[in-house]
Amino acid sequence: MKRKVIKQGHNTLTITLPSEWANRFNIRAGDEINLSERDAGIFISAERHEDKKRAEFSITDLDIPTIWKYFMAVYREGYSEVKVQFDPNQRFDSPYKLFTTHKSDMNYGKKTRPHTPFETIQEITNRFIGFEIIEHHADHCIIKDMAEPSAKEFDSSLRRVFLLILQMAEETLEAIRTEDTKMLEHMHDIDINLDKFHDYCIRVLNKTKCRDERKSHLLVTTLYLLELLGDEFKNVAYHIVGDLRDKSLKNILKLCEMNVNQFKHYYDLYYNFKKEKMREFSKQDWEIHLYLPKLYLKRPGKGTSLSDDELEVFHHFRMMSKYLNALIELRIQMEFN
């Protein structure tokens, strides 16, 4: 689009802002916008200025999985203040019991007394970056965002998501290589941290709207797949700690090495996109594709036996490869955005 330069006074030149863009970000007279020089141009950006969004819901008669879904919804959507109503006489299981069916969840596996509604809300609130309970009443709590997110925080939070998955990948590989299953007993803690930054990234995208809308959609999908990738590493840890403890892990070592290297390559490619890196990723994917049939030929009755538990681990590694291929497709789309 073109804009005519208007002279105001002796030394000032001005241009008008497109009304559609100004309305999208709710720009008003007196607001500040950001200007940055880029080669022969100037880049104009603004975070969305909007009224504080408020939400309200009741957790009465809800189970823990559903309560989590309500909290994630209002958090990801960018609500700044949330009123949570409850029945003070109701009692709940630990909010983390939902996530602790795995034998690898050593820190959360102990039986706990029933939680009051406030204790339940407090534990869940602690999981979300910036959320704090500011008021506690007999039948409701008020939760407020005490650290308004900005677009600048998105990149560092996304990088944190990558680094947490990298930690899960490297520790899984080391545990299999050394057959030290105890290394994976804290994998659930890493996954909770990963989920925390995943939700925060989506919250920033929804709240600031500073990025191109189409690219934002690509980033949301990328984050969703990265979170699923982390879940697969947690699932592998579950089988190793619970079902393959004190058993040889040599049958799953090579496939783990291939998947970890594939993720590392994707991580490098995401931040430093080059065609030759794409070719290398395709080569790694093809090697995994050729290797998998060799493993499945080892099923009982067809030579060297593989246990059902090992086959479950193979399934999770296969899912990792599928997610990584989908992530690569999204990364290529970003090049044309």
Residues 6+ apart with CB under 8 A from 187: 104, 168, 171, 172, 233, 234, 237
User: What tens-digit pLDDT sequence spans the chain (337 residues)?
Assistant: 677 878 777 777 788 888 776 776 677 777 777 676 655 567 676 655 455 689 999 999 999 999 999 999 999 999 999 999 999 999 998 887 654 444 444 444 455 678 999 999 999 999 999 999 999 999 999 999 998 777 778 999 999 999 999 999 999 999 999 988 888 988 989 999 999 999 999 999 988 765 567 788 999 999 999 999 999 999 999 888 887 877 888 888 999 999 999 999 999 999 999 989 999 999 999 998 888 777 666 555 555 567 778 888 888 999 999 999 999 999 999 988 6
Residues 6+ apart with CB under 8 A from 275: none
Alpha helices by DSSP H, listed for 128-212, are: 152-178, 187-208
The CATH code for residues 54-145 is 3.30.1370
Contact in structure between 285 and 266 (CB atoms under 8 Å): no
Distance CA 82, CA 105 (A): 30
Helix (H, G, I), strand (E, B) or coil at 56: strand
Residues 6+ apart with CB under 8 A from 18: 1, 3
Looking from the CA of 8 toward its CB, the CA atoms found within 13 Å total: 8
The pLDDT of residue 142 is 97
Phi, psi angle pair for 58, to nearest 5°: -115, 140
Contact in structure between 276 and 334 (CB atoms under 8 Å): no
Phi, psi angle pair for 289, to nearest 5°: -60, -40
DSSP class of 114: P
Give this prediction's pTM: 0.79
Q: Nearest Cα to 198, choosing from 158, 230, 146?
A: 158
Q: Nearest Cα to 15, choosing from 42, 50, 52, 46?
A: 42
The pLDDT of residue 104 is 43
Contact in structure between 233 and 183 (CB atoms under 8 Å): no
The pLDDT of residue 248 is 82
- Total Cβ atoms within 10 A of residue 327: 21
Distances (CA, A) of 280 to 116, 252, 269, 327: 54, 23, 10, 15
Distance CA 188, CA 108 (A): 9
For 72-136, list the strands marked E by DSSP: 81-85, 131-136
The CATH code for residues 152-335 is 1.20.58.220
The pLDDT of residue 102 is 45
Measure CA 8 to chain center. 48
Q: What is the DSSP string of 235-278?
A: HHHHHHHHTSTTS--HHHHHHHHHHHHHHHHHHHHHHS--HHHH
Distance CA 89, CA 166 (A): 43
Measure CA 77 to chain center. 14
Measure CA 117 to chain center. 27
Do 152-335 and 54-145 fall under one CATH topology? no
In the chain, domain spans: 6-45, 54-145, 152-335
Residue carrying the six token digits 């990584």: 324
The pLDDT of residue 309 is 81
Residues 6+ apart with CB under 8 A from 34: 44, 45, 46
The pLDDT of residue 172 is 95
The pLDDT of residue 19 is 78
Looking from the CA of 80 toward its CB, the CA atoms found within 13 Å total: 11
Structure-block tokens of residue 220: 């949301």
Q: Which residues share a beta bridge with 58?
A: 85
Counting beta carbons within 10 angstroms of the beta carbon of residue 309, is it exposed (0 to 12), middle (13 to 18) or buried (19 or more)? Answer: middle
Longest CA span, the chain: 90
